[in-house]
Structure 1
């Protein structure tokens, strides 16, 4: 699905790794609109193209150079394990490719983990279980930000709240990566590799309404326990996430200077395999994984 825009502006690809729920369609016209409202700038010439990678829809190789940046969404599926679906392995190969081209890549939740795996890091199940709700993230002390971070402040705040919905996490950042933030339950809430790859475990695009609806559905289908759901609702009732801060951070990263850098040298380590299933659709039973937005 394409997002129309005038010629001459920046162009971004939204890689959707989740199918729309009835709620997402009715309340937002689809999950793509949640991202677009959060990340689009006021530039009328800016264009966004949406690819449903979960259904095997990917940009063609000859189109990759047309984009200034790529955004990978969350997903009900995991980014780890040797038995990952075809589309997940193909996504990792795509992320390695565009990173080597010097394109800016932003990964959110599942996208954060897929980006880490693609660039040589390690991801897996969290030993502390599900983390759901409005949670506080702490930024690393004395950090040297590897990109033009946030134009409204010379330095980030010490802490910021973000919505979390995950049971997987980054175990080890890729070679050359830097941990930028952590939380009580998650060691790597945010990481960067150079100035063109940024992973965020939380959901900058989510609102509390989205969190509450998703929490109720996760409890109702027994994906998370009632106690986890109650705690998530309590955090949402106690306050809002620092959404303006997080969306501003993402916008500044995606539109930062240096998008015309020379291609990077190939990453060390084994590459994701070439895959022939160009339109593979992974089918899972309803209870095999948590439902999407």
Structure 2
């Protein structure tokens, strides 16, 4: 009979979007998409909070979490919906607690806004499809990136946004950019990381999203066809992006193995 550890790391996914019918049917919801991308099979617990519907973690339980992930969203990060304003307060609290927070797309933007930066519409319009992101090599080293070996100078990622970070918060450092977007990634210390693209997305999720945007007349058919033709011949660097996200949230693979070994020592001591 196995022994279940009581020392599991605990993470919270703050969902700023509702599940699409496609993602529900194929993946069982966005929660499963994120956990498959950033989670581990053992020694972890992931909780989901649908902040888009006003569901937030108890402020008295925030200290129990090792990290938080803020998802993308069809909403504007600079909007004044009640849940967005409440999310900003939560992110300010987590920053003051030095809790790890990873923001993806909308999450990247709302993190920026909450911590004093500026977000708005991109003057060059939608960015949809694969984008080559340049990793800045001479920034002040972040410990989570130092734990990774041979980070390429550029990585391809799936993008789907028409808003962007215009000005990072005071104390933030831009660590990646592209020919389309000036702030593809930013950090604050070792506890805040924003990524404009979608390391969790697969190409089928993006293709379904393109279908929905076309049905809403949000994008033109020419753009959709161009994106799809490029998607057929290229792949995002999903594995490398997910390594970066995992290293940020919980350290390198070696550090995670040490955590499991230390947990086993506690269990059997």
**TM-score, reference length from structure 2:** 0.90
Structure with the bigger percentage of helix: 2
Matches within 5 A, 1:9-48: 9-42=8-41, 44-48=42-46
Q: Is the 8 A contact 1:6 1:47 kept in 2?
A: no
Q: Is the 8 A contact 2:69 2:101 kept in 1?
A: yes
2:215 alignment counterpart: 220
Q: Aligned equivalents of 2:140 and 2:233: distance in 1?
A: 32
Which of 135, 150, 162 is residue 131 of structure 2 equivalent to?
A: 135
Q: Considering Cα pairs closer than 8 Å and 6+ residues apart, tell me whether 1 or 2 has the greater RCO.
A: 1
Q: Aligned equivalents of 1:69 and 1:248: distance in 2?
A: 16
2:89 alignment counterpart: 93
TM-superposed CA distance for 1:235, in Å, is 2.2
Q: Aligned equivalents of 1:48 and 1:150: distance in 2?
A: 26
Which of 57, 65, 68 is residue 67 of structure 1 equivalent to?
A: 65
Post-superposition Cα deviations, 1:47-67, rounded to whole Å, max 9, x if no partner, equal 110000000000011010000
Post-superposition Cα deviations, 1:18-58, rounded to whole Å, max 9, x if no partner, equal 0011101101001110001000023x221110000000000
RMSD over aligned Cα atoms = 1.6
Distance of aligned partners of 1:47 and 1:6 in 2 relative to their CA distance in 1, 3 Å threshold: farther
Which of 196, 215, 218 is residue 201 of structure 1 equivalent to?
A: 196
Q: Aligned equivalents of 2:173 and 2:109: distance in 1?
A: 14
Q: Aligned equivalents of 2:137 and 2:39: distance in 1?
A: 30
Q: Is the 8 A contact 2:12 2:48 kept in 1?
A: yes
TM-superposed CA distance for 1:6, in Å, is 5.2
Distance of aligned partners of 1:6 and 1:31 in 2 relative to their CA distance in 1, 3 Å threshold: farther
Which of 105, 112, 118 is residue 108 of structure 2 equivalent to?
A: 112
Q: Aligned equivalents of 1:185 and 1:228: distance in 2?
A: 15
State yes or no: 1:123 paired with 2:119. Answer: yes
Q: Is the 8 A contact 2:148 2:247 kept in 1?
A: no
Q: Aligned equivalents of 1:88 and 1:66: distance in 2?
A: 23
TM-superposed CA distance for 1:150, in Å, is 6.2
1:180 alignment counterpart: 175
TM-superposed CA distance for 1:143, in Å, is 2.1
2:227 alignment counterpart: 232
Of stretches 136-145 and 90-99 in structure 1, the one that deviates more from structure 2 is 136-145
Aligned length: 250
SS of 1:77's equivalent in the other structure is coil
SS of 2:130's equivalent in the other structure is strand
2:155 alignment counterpart: 160
**TM-score, reference length from structure 1:** 0.82
1:57 alignment counterpart: 55
Q: Is the 8 A contact 2:134 2:177 kept in 1?
A: yes
TM-superposed CA distance for 1:152, in Å, is 4.2
Unaligned runs of 5+ in 2: 256-269
Q: Is the 8 A contact 1:6 1:46 kept in 2?
A: no
TM-superposed CA distance for 1:158, in Å, is 0.7
Unaligned runs of 5+ in 1: 259-293
2:262 alignment counterpart: none
TM-superposed CA distance for 1:151, in Å, is 3.9
Q: Aligned equivalents of 1:178 and 1:97: distance in 2?
A: 20
Q: Is the 8 A contact 2:165 2:183 kept in 1?
A: yes
